[in-house]
RNA sequence: GGACAGGUGGCCGAGCGGCUGAAGGCACCGGUUUGCUAAACCGGCGUACUGGUUAUACCGGUACCGCGGGUUCGAAUCCCGCCCUGUCCGCCA
């Protein structure tokens, strides 16, 4: 959520910010509603103050009269009733007026809140302006010494690559048909060594981030209340991307939603809290199952492990003090952890500075990491893919946008409560990361070499071969 | 799932429908005293919005006693719905 005070002071910044992100929101209406809300709220407060004052003056008198009324005789009764009516006339008039203002404020406020939640965080000035993902800017690439990105896979390795789908089938690492049979399109199963590899990847990444980089290991709920989804900024805009468990239909008090990332649980845990300043920065990592409906992606990446409804992800999150320099430095550090990971896995990658159009509404800045996937991309004359980059990681910098929504604050040195800054980044998402892994490490004989860093997590296995697969027939 | 009990400030805990933003205690901060520490004593100590002003200093107003609604001139206190917690029973990885 943006700071409404900043919007009042400089609406143009937010109008431009939304336009640059290609997000259409009615900021003029929000400003109108904001003014009305403040006006009516102030009037209501003035009336209430008056009411309280009167109440204190005549309240006890009313109470006393009502008491006397009970034991009063006929003549006295009439007199008391008249006095009572006189005393009550003014507060009753006030009460009606307050009731009217209450209704106005409630009505305005719900529209105001709904709009406010939709206003995107403007991108930072150093984020390239753009109209689509095509305008993202490549920052740098990395490749192992043995792989020249300017040459084709065949030129590098001396044989034509298979796609990950072909490799998964041949080595019996995954079963798409039965996954689809049970759950429908975009579902799959990892089988035998495929599952071992999947787990090895996750554990390797989790150990790296927690043991080597001091992030606190966490398990988090992946079934969450709507407040968490709104608080973390995934709702209302991304509502159709989340699976919705309509428990209220069965009589429960609230619905639940499946998280699309562990970030929801990690950030949600500190909602409505004021943290002691010395607790920051909070560095946490979780490994969790992620669920995405992939609404609007019909027809895209339908085959293989690229775009699926359920996967597992190691996620890193940092909650730090409200300091731009500190935020920016954490962003870099989180990215460098991923670079270390990918280098250990010997996977070529590139860093992409996302342009304004690709940021999403909550981010001030986002850097994606894409791995080279030889089995992806346009088909050549022989109907074989030419290879392409595929997104495997995404590092977001949000300033206080998320903490403001979540109401996560900390107490600074002067004792003030301040909204914290938050950042998040993928450490590793699997099975998507298995695409570059098995495509890049495939060998001429159709086997796949297991990178050294994963071997301890694979019972020491060095090569995945067809005959080593121990899966169901 | 069934039966009870209960949700009050950082924590514990009191609270007759008006004098309660809320007693008391603990913790914390400042001060006095003090060889040091401790103790004792004095003072301070919630969040948010909003106005006086341009200001995180100061003064005022409003709201907040799980959440939402209702009764009332007036609600922490009465009523209704929901959420959550605890205990017992049942079921269960």
Q: How far apart are CA A37 and CA A195, in angstroms?
A: 56
First-residue to last-residue Cα distance in chain A:
52
Q: What is the DSSP letter of A306?
A: S
Chain B bases having any atom below 7 Å from a protein CB: 18-19, 47-51, 56, 61-63, 69, 73-74, 82-84
**Is residue A137 classed as helix, strand or coil in its secondary structure?**
strand
- Residue ranges of alpha helices (H) inside A120-235 are 153-157, 164-170, 176-183, 193-207, 226-231
Nearest nt (C1') to A50 (CA)? Answer: B61
For the cut 80, the answer to whether the pLDDT of residue A367 exceeds it is: yes
Q: Of A292, A376, A397, A404, which residue is the catalytic one?
A: A292
Residue A45 and residue A456: Cα distance in Å, rounded? 67
Determine what percent of chain A is predicted with pLDDT higher than 90.
65
| pLDDT band for position A473 (cuts 50, 70, 90) | very low
Distance CA A60, CA A145 (A): 88
Confidence of residue A439 (pLDDT cuts 50, 70, 90): very high
Domain range annotation of chain A: 26-118, 133-468
How far, in Å, CA of A28 to CA of A343, rounded? Answer: 49
A398: nearest Cα among A364, A440, A374: A364
Mean per-residue pLDDT, A311-328: 95
Strand B closer than 7 Å to the CB of A113?
A: no
Tell me what percent of the residues of chain A surpass a pLDDT of 70: 93
pLDDT at A71: 61
Convert A394-432 to b/e letters by CB count within 10 Å (16 or more is b): bbbbbbbbbbbbbebbbeeeeeeebbbbbbbbbbbbbbb
> Please, what is the average pLDDT of chain A?
90
What is the spatial distance between Cα A249 and Cα A18, in angstroms, rounded to a whole number?
A: 36
ipTM (interface pTM): 0.83
Q: Determine whether A307 is an active site residue.
A: yes
User: How far from chain centre, in Å, is Cα A189?
Assistant: 26
Lowest mean pLDDT among A326-330, A409-413, A425-429, A458-462: A409-413
Rounded to whole angstroms, the distance from the CA of residue A278 to the C1' of nucleotide B39 is 30
pLDDT band at A469 (very low <50, low <70, confident <90, very high): very low
- Residue A83 burial by Cβ neighbours in a 10 Å radius (0-12, 13-18, 19+): middle
Tokens matching residue A26? 């009615």
Protein residue nearest nucleotide B29, by CA to C1': A415
Cα–Cα distance for residue pair A263/A362, rounded to 1 Å:
13
Count CB neighbours of A376 within 10 A.
21
Residue of A88, A227, A326, A391 with catalytic role: A391
Q: Measured from the CB, is A217 under 7 Å from any atom of strand B?
A: no
Average pLDDT over residues A117-144: 94
Cα distances (angstroms) measured from residue A309 to each of A199, A334, A358, A422, A436: 18, 26, 21, 26, 19
Instruction: Give every CB contact of residue A247 below 8 A, 6+ residues apart in sequence.
Output: A254, A255, A256
Q: CATH assignment of A133-468? A: 3.30.930.10
């Amino acid at each position: 959520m943006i700071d409404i005070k900043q919007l009042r002071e400089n609406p143009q910044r937010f109008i431009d910010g939304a336009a640059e992100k290609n997000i259409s929101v009615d900021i003029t209406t929000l400003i109108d509603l904001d003014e009305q809300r403040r006006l009516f709220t102030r009037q209501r407060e003035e009336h209430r103050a008056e009411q309280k004052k009167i109440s204190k003056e005549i309240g006890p008198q009313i109470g006393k009269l009502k008491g006397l009324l009970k034991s009063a005789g006929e003549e006295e009764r009439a007199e008391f009733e008249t006095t009572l009516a006189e005393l009550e006339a003014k507060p009753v008039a006030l009460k009606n007026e307050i009731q009217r203002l209450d209704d106005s404020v409630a009505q305005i406020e719900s529209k105001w809140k709904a709009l406010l939640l939709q206003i995107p965080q403007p991108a930072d000035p150093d984020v390239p302006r753009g109209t689509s993902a095509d305008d993202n800017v490549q920052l740098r690439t990395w490749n192992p010494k043995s792989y020249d990105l300017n040459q084709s896979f065949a030129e590098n390795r001396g044989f034509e690559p298979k796609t990950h789908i072909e490799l998964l089938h041949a080595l019996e690492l995954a079963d798409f048909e039965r996954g689809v049979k049970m759950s429908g399109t975009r579902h799959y199963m990892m089988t035998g060594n495929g599952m071992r590899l999947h787990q090895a990847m996750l554990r390797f990444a989790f150990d790296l981030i927690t043991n080597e980089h001091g992030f606190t290991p966490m398990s988090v709920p992946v079934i969450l209340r709507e407040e968490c989804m709104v608080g973390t900024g995934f709702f209302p805009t991304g509502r159709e991307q989340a699976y919705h468990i309509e428990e209220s239909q069965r009589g429960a008090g609230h619905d639940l939603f499946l998280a699309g990332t562990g970030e929801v649980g990690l950030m949600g845990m500190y909602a409505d809290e004021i943290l002691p300043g010395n607790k920051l920065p909070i560095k946490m990592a979780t490994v969790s199952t992620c669920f995405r409906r992939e609404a609007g992606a019909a027809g895209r990446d339908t085959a293989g492990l690229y775009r699926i409804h359920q996967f597992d992800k190691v996620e890193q999150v940092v909650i730090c003090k409200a300091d731009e320099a500190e935020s920016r430095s954490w962003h870099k550090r989180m990215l460098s952890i991923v670079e270390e990971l990918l280098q250990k896995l010997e996977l070529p990658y590139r860093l992409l500075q996302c342009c304004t159009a690709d940021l999403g509404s909550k981010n001030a800045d986002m850097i994606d990491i894409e791995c080279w996937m030889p089995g992806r991309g346009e088909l050549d004359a022989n109907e074989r893919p030419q290879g392409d980059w595929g997104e495997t990681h995404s590092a977001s910098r949000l300033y206080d946008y998320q903490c403001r929504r979540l109401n996560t604050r900390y107490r600074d040195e002067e004792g003030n409560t301040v909204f914290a800054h938050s950042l998040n980044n993928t450490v590793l998402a699997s099975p998507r990361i298995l695409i570059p892994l098995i495509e890049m490490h495939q060998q001429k004989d159709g086997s796949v070499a297991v990178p050294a860093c994963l071997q301890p997590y694979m019972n020491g296995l060095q090569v995945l071969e067809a005959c080593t697969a121990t899966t169901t027939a």
